[in-house]
Copies of this chain bind each other. A is one copy, B any other.
Amino acid sequence: MSPAPDRNARDRILQAAEAVALREGARHLTLAAAAKEAGVSKGGVLYHFPSKHALLDGMLQRFVETVGTEIETHRARFRDLANPTLRAVNATMRARMQGPDSVRIALVASHAESPSTNAKLREVFANHWERIKAETADPEGALTIWCAIEGLQFFSLFDVWPATDEQAPTVADRIEALIDALPAATRSA
């Protein structure tokens, strides 16, 4: 059979791009820098991603898919509890809190290149919201809790967390307690 498209190299480039953006900043994420970090040539990067825009899109998609599947996995564990999606989001973010979230940097890099082209991203957030909303009798309470989860990520990503490192998981615990107190959806009829 003909050689299968090397998903492996593609992913390695994506990870390399994340690493560069995290270490040097989104402005220094260049095709050459990503290539060097991934151990391929610039031509190799352009083969897998025909333009820089495509690379950014790939990063964004990797973020969405990675986080998405993790949320899905956690959600399965919580399927018998109230507000399983919100719980899953919190569990996912907690697990991602060792060091800055490497896939999340895609969000910053993409926004730095073109703030207006995050329509797909907004859609993803909106989809999560639909599920979270459907699972609770207090949507705005859920929204507030979600804000706390994302705020924790914000502190971590920009490396401005003001408290001690041990307090971060504790905050995740407190958020979980808030979810415990959040009313489940009333099953009408």
Residues of A with Cβ closer than 8 Å to B? 22-28, 107-109, 111-115, 118, 121-122, 125-126, 128-129, 133, 139-141, 143-155, 158-163, 167, 170-171, 174-175, 178
Given A26-B26, A122-B159, A174-B140, do A111 and B108 touch, yes or no (CB 8 Å)? Answer: yes
In the complex, the answer to whether A128 meets B162 with C-beta atoms within 8 Å is: yes
Which of B25, B111, B112, B129 is within 8 Å of A114, CB to CB? B25
Given A111-B26, A112-B25, A113-B25, do A151 and B147 touch, yes or no (CB 8 Å)? Answer: yes
In the complex, the answer to whether A140 meets B115 with C-beta atoms within 8 Å is: no
In the complex, the answer to whether B160 meets A118 with C-beta atoms within 8 Å is: yes
**Separation in Å of the A81 CB from the closest CB of chain B?**
20
**Separation in Å of the A19 CB from the closest CB of chain B?**
12
The CA-CA distance from A153 to B125 in the complex, in Å, is 15
Which of B115, B121, B148, B159 is within 8 Å of A148, CB to CB? B148
The CA-CA distance from A143 to B172 in the complex, in Å, is 10
**Separation in Å of the A38 CB from the closest CB of chain B?**
20
In the complex, the answer to whether B150 meets A144 with C-beta atoms within 8 Å is: no
Q: Nearest CB to that of A172 among chain B residues?
A: B144
Which of B114, B141, B147, B163 is within 8 Å of A143, CB to CB? B163
User: Which B residues are in CB contact (< 8 Å) with A146?
Assistant: 151
Q: Nearest CB to that of A150 among chain B residues?
A: B151
In the complex, the answer to whether A162 meets B23 with C-beta atoms within 8 Å is: no
Given A27-B26, A111-B108, A113-B27, do A147 and B158 touch, yes or no (CB 8 Å)? Answer: no
The CA-CA distance from A144 to B126 in the complex, in Å, is 23
In the complex, the answer to whether B115 meets A22 with C-beta atoms within 8 Å is: yes
A-B contacts besides A26-B27, A140-B167, A147-B152, 5 pairs, CB < 8 Å: A24-B115, A26-B112, A112-B112, A147-B155, A151-B151
